[in-house]
Structure 1
């Protein structure tokens, strides 16, 4: 039983201490194999959805609101999101240590800012 607890503790420690950074995301996104490119796009899309849903839960996403970082056009493609985030990370090396989802928010905000006055 003690061996099971030690193994479980050893496995949990790296999971709790790990943070996926902007630098990690950029490294993943620069790989050229299909699996890495798909994982990069999926991570960015998933984070964007999560951020959007969080904002929706705390006050809505029908227009620029306090805390809203980006407003994606309805026809935005996965490659556009990935390119925007990678460009932001490349142009702002100081974000390399940020949590990847923070860099995604900032990158999408730079590329897809919310327009004031038109509700999108």
Structure 2
């Protein structure tokens, strides 16, 4: 029975997964319905949290992608994160084809860089 469950689960996974791109994220974030706005904010916050934890796990500011590192202020709001990321994608059209989490990382790094030697809160 377990083998059948594993086989069915494997078939349910798509054969090719396309990455969510910066332009797709921006398109989602420009929609005005509540569900899209919530999904946009949740995606950006989740990606920011994942990026932060990944970089922290590989050595923080000594990691390989220091230029993509960011330090969010403790009082930052979800809408600020969304606005910053959307502006970054808009100002840097080449980013629109990047993976959405990369666009988020670059946008947050530009808006909220860590001061030299600063550790994130």
TM range (shorter): 0.7 to 0.9
> Which consecutive residues of structure 1, in runs of 5 or more, have no partner in the other structure?
none
Q: Which residue in the other structure is 1:90 paired with? A: 90
Q: TM-score, normalised to structure 1's length? A: 0.81
Paired residue total: 110
| Closer, same or farther: CA 70–13 of 1 in aligned 2, 3 Å | same
In structure 2, distance between residues paired with 1:117 and 1:12: 43
In the TM superposition, residue 117 of structure 1 has moved relative to its aligned partner by 4.4
Bigger shift: residues 50-59 or 83-92: 50-59
In the TM superposition, residue 17 of structure 1 has moved relative to its aligned partner by 2.6
Q: Which residue in the other structure is 2:14 paired with? A: 13
Post-superposition CA distance 1:30-76 (Å, at most 9, x none): 0000000000000000000000111111113xxx4443411101111
| Closer, same or farther: CA 118–21 of 1 in aligned 2, 3 Å | closer
Post-superposition CA distance 1:72-92 (Å, at most 9, x none): 011111011000000000000
Structure 1 runs (4+) deviating above 6 angstroms are none
In structure 1, distance between residues paired with 2:23 and 2:119: 34
Q: Which residue in the other structure is 1:27 paired with? A: 27
In the TM superposition, residue 119 of structure 1 has moved relative to its aligned partner by 4.4
Q: Which residue in the other structure is 1:101 paired with? A: 101
Q: Which residue in the other structure is 1:49 paired with? A: 49
Q: TM-score, normalised to structure 2's length? A: 0.81
**Contact 2:71–2:119, Cα closer than 8 Å, also in 1:** no
> Which consecutive residues of structure 2, in runs of 5 or more, have no partner in the other structure?
1-6
CA RMSD of aligned residues (A): 2.1
